[in-house]
Amino acid sequence: MLITPRLRIREFTTDDAGLLFDLDSDPEVLRYVGPSLCHTVDDYRERIATLYCGYYARSKHLGVWCVETTDGEFCGWVCFRPAMDYRHAEPAGFRAGDAEVGYRLQRKFWGQGLATEAAQAVIERGLGLPGAARAVASALASNKASCRVLQKCGLEIVGEFPVEGFDSVAYSFVREQSKRERI
């Protein structure tokens, strides 16, 4: 579990499936990501049991985690996962060994800096590992709020790529040691 000043970031359990279903039932939440691949609470339960728990079994620092306020209210999720698991990894220019940062919050938590707080926490923990040199992310260019979150986390634009008729932006963060090694 990660604790920030306002958040608890923990592993999902299958009991959280309804929370994910409700989050993805809001069309405004999915506005920039497209329709959910899960259609029932059982689909989310299966996703948690296989994909998310699979991440947790392989690494304490890679995965998709539940984001809650410190008093336990569900906000959404944050991820720091193998970048090649992103369905548009190749056009985004992601490479094996990269870790993708992502997040999704309920609308009532938008505009409060919580996505930035959660993303920074998983980036700091993940990039603190030996060999973890590059965090990457992508967002639709039109999703100005998400682009701001990534920039506040220290990620820089490294390119653009099309996704299903939309312009997307690829971001990368390279820890300081790696920047020095390239000079």
| pLDDT of amino acid 177 | 41
CB proximity list for 22: less than 8 A, separation 6 or greater: none
Structural tokens at position 13: 């359990």
pLDDT, one tens digit for every residue, the chain (183 residues): 899 999 999 999 999 999 999 999 999 999 998 888 899 999 999 999 999 999 999 988 899 999 999 999 999 999 999 999 999 999 999 999 899 999 999 999 999 999 999 999 999 998 877 666 689 999 999 999 999 999 999 999 999 998 877 889 999 986 554 443 333
CATH code of 2-182, in short, is: 3.40.630.30
**What are the C-alpha distances in Å from 159 to residues 40, 113, 120, 136, 171?**
35, 25, 21, 11, 7
Query: What is the distance of C-alpha 33 from the center of its chain?
Result: 12
**What are the C-alpha distances in Å from 181 to residues 59, 81, 125, 127, 174?**
26, 24, 21, 16, 11
Q: Please tell me the total number of residues recorded for the chain in this structure.
A: 183
| Residue matched to tokens 């929370």 | 19
Q: How far apart are CA 179 and CA 176, in angstroms?
A: 5
| pLDDT of amino acid 178 | 40
**Dihedral of alpha carbons 94, 100, 86, 139, sign:** negative
| pLDDT of amino acid 159 | 93
